[in-house]
Amino acid sequence: METAIFSIICIALIVFGGMTMSQGFMTSVDTSTMGLEKMRQRNETIMRTELTPLSAEQPSANTVEVTLENSGQTKLANFEKWDIIVQYYDGTGTYHVEWLPYTEATLDDNEWEVAWIQLDGGAEVFEPNVLNPQEQIKIRTQLNPSVGAGTTNMFIVATPSGVTASTYFSP
């Protein structure tokens, strides 16, 4: 009788331990699967996102304007999360690499703003402040010190998903 009780207790412990181990295994498989799904979604977003530089102008010594087209299939927004990096030479020949923060207020030194978003040259109507596929965006930056004359410089845009576009500009 004592062996039967001891055997029942041992069998119960083995079953409980097996169930606990299988639950832990299922939880780790579920966590891994969710991580892989997030990676797949991020990779899909990156593959469908594309920015094409259309023009780079310098209307004044310290202002650079770059026009880009969303030639991908995903809409882009959250401009405060975009990275704008300008590599340029000033009038004395000093090389500058500047990361510029986004502003919705008055444009100040070493900041950038969205000048406009258009579709086929007309004002944006559908989803204001969102860069939809086939729409163009003009990014205006104000640099200090000013860009030097006769220099070749680089303008880089990076979206939160990691997609980048770059173009060169000269005064």
Strands (E), 14-82: 51-60, 63-70
Give residue 37's pLDDT band: very low, low, confident or very high (50, 70, 90): confident
Is the pLDDT assigned to residue 131 strictly greater than 80? yes
Q: Rounded CA gap, 143 and 109, in Å?
A: 5
Task: List the structure tokens of 86.
Answer: 């300008």
Whether 140 contacts 117, CB under 8 Å: no
CATH number, domain 51-169, options 1.20.120, 1.10.10, 2.60.40, 3.40.50: 2.60.40
Listed in sequence order, the DSSP H helices in 49-91 are none
Is the pLDDT assigned to residue 18 strictly greater than 90? no
pLDDT digits (tens, 9 = 90+) for 89-115: 999 999 999 999 999 999 999 999 999
Domain definitions of the chain by residue range: 1-48, 51-169
pLDDT digits (tens, 9 = 90+) for 47-80: 878 999 999 999 998 999 999 999 999 999 999 9
To the question of pTM greater than 0.95 for the whole model, the response is no
